[in-house]
Amino acid sequence: MSLPFIDLKAQYRLLKSDIDARIQRVLDSGAFILGPEVAELEAELARWAGVRHAIGVANGTDALQIALMIERIGPGDAVFLPSFTYAATAEAAVLVGATPVFVDVDAGTFNVDPDDLDARIAAVAKAGKLRPKALIAVDLFGQTADYRRLAPVMERHGLHLVSDAAQSFGGKLDGKAVGSLAPITTTSFYPSKPLGCYGDGGAILTDDPAKAELVRSIRFHGTSSSDRYDMARIGMNSRLDTIQAAVLLAKLKVFARELETRERVARIYDSRLGNLVAVPVRAPGVTSSWAQYTVQVDRRDQVAARLKSAGIPTAIYYQRPLHLQSAYRHYGQGAGSLPVSEQVADRVLSLPIHGYLDDAAAQRVCDAVAQAVGS
């Protein structure tokens, strides 16, 4: 029998009565847009992250775009971001009219390499065509970016920092929760993320009341906070649906326990796979939310095929770094320009991990990997 890669059905079986009742309440109330569940969820998310403001939006991509809009980032601005990430990170920069500049990553953590970032900012500044304006740091696979080493680089070059925590909500760095590690953090509730809803959803987290007010305005077509009939700016239609907020309120109740299970599975993988394949490097002080457990192997396709025939599904995040994708090639960072991103893309393989994977299943994955990497 094949294991599921993520098990949304096990979670629904556990939460069914609560989720169904909460959805029914929204149906009965008719408050589908910005109903009371949205504000209730926002308060819970802010408390979870230890920040003053959380604002629900339609998805994690809009969240990134809005984060750039409130800093007035646009044409002529360079937005630095890792090439080894999901396309949404770069898309947000392009959608506001800015130019994405791809940065290489660390081969162990898969997150932005602060030294490479520093060098690329200096090169853009020296070329004089674009203004270095922002970094979107991605917490890839649930592990926080190296914010301690990124902070001085941001400061030296006067850049805005946006944290793309689409995969890392629930994680921590030095005891501080994701959401509080940057002036503005965005996340996603896409169903397969660690905290996922039953459709699209996202949020923006910040301690800054002025930023929070701008986000609330922009998600609602730019409506003025003091006069609802005045459009103060150009905004978007990017509200979080009440039904999705209701689903998330139910799921938040078990989120801490799910994160513990993910951590337990990751420890089993670490200890049993550490000398068979390259396991993810845990940076000191980081608690990952384990959106993915991604190893690096030689002959990746052969290993994946062997695992598949043993009933173990895998996924490849990401097959091709963004600078080599058709839509992004014209930015001119060709093959060879981001060597680590290119190298890891050929070797990564993500193993099953979710909040309902028991120890026996984790051991079964390890047995299959041991078989698959043997010759």
Ligand X SMILES: *Cc1c(COP(=O)(O)O)cnc(C)c1O
Minimum gap (Å) between residue 167 Cβ and ligand X: 5
Q: Is 6 in the site for ligand X (CB under 6 A)?
A: no
Out of 80, 110, 147, 190, the residue judged to bind ligand X by CB under 6 A = 190
Q: Residue 224 or residue 325: which is nearer to ligand X going by CB?
A: 325
Q: Is 116 in the site for ligand X (CB under 6 A)?
A: no
- Of 157, 181, 159, the C-alpha closest to 169 is 181
Q: Residue 90 or residue 366: which is nearer to ligand X going by CB?
A: 90
Out of 65, 83, 143, 167, the residue judged to bind ligand X by CB under 6 A = 167
Out of 35, 60, 235, 352, the residue judged to bind ligand X by CB under 6 A = 60
Q: Residue 322 or residue 368: which is nearer to ligand X going by CB?
A: 322
Q: Residue 37 or residue 139: which is nearer to ligand X going by CB?
A: 139
The size of the interface with ligand X (CB under 6 A), counted in residues, is: 15
- Of 129, 138, 117, 132, the C-alpha closest to 78 is 132
Minimum gap (Å) between residue 61 Cβ and ligand X: 3
Give CA–CA dist 21/247, Å, rounded: 10
- Binding part of the chain for ligand X, among 59-67, 122-130, 236-244, 257-265 by CB under 6 A, reads 59-67
Minimum gap (Å) between residue 200 Cβ and ligand X: 6
Minimum gap (Å) between residue 355 Cβ and ligand X: 18
Give CA–CA dist 265/325, Å, rounded: 33
Out of 11, 59, 287, 294, the residue judged to bind ligand X by CB under 6 A = 59
Q: Is 241 in the site for ligand X (CB under 6 A)?
A: no
Q: Residue 29 or residue 319: which is nearer to ligand X going by CB?
A: 319
Annotate each residue in 73-92 with x if it binds ligand X (CB under 6 A) or - if it does not, as one string.
Answer: ------------xx-xx---
Q: Residue 66 or residue 214: which is nearer to ligand X going by CB?
A: 66
Give CA–CA dist 84/86, Å, rounded: 7
Site for ligand X in 202-221 (CB under 6 A): 202
Backbone angles phi, psi at 72, to 5 degrees: 55, 45
Out of 188, 244, 292, 333, the residue judged to bind ligand X by CB under 6 A = 188
Q: Residue 65 or residue 361: which is nearer to ligand X going by CB?
A: 65
Name the residue number minimizing CB distance to ligand X. Answer: 60
Site for ligand X in 137-166 (CB under 6 A): 138, 164, 166
Q: Is 200 in the site for ligand X (CB under 6 A)?
A: yes
Phi-psi region of 117 (alpha: psi -120 to 50; beta: other; left: phi over 0): alpha
Q: Is 171 in the site for ligand X (CB under 6 A)?
A: no
Site for ligand X in 287-306 (CB under 6 A): none
Q: Residue 153 or residue 166: which is nearer to ligand X going by CB?
A: 166
Residues found near ligand X in the complex (CB under 6 A): 59-61, 85-86, 88-89, 138, 164, 166-167, 188, 190, 200, 202
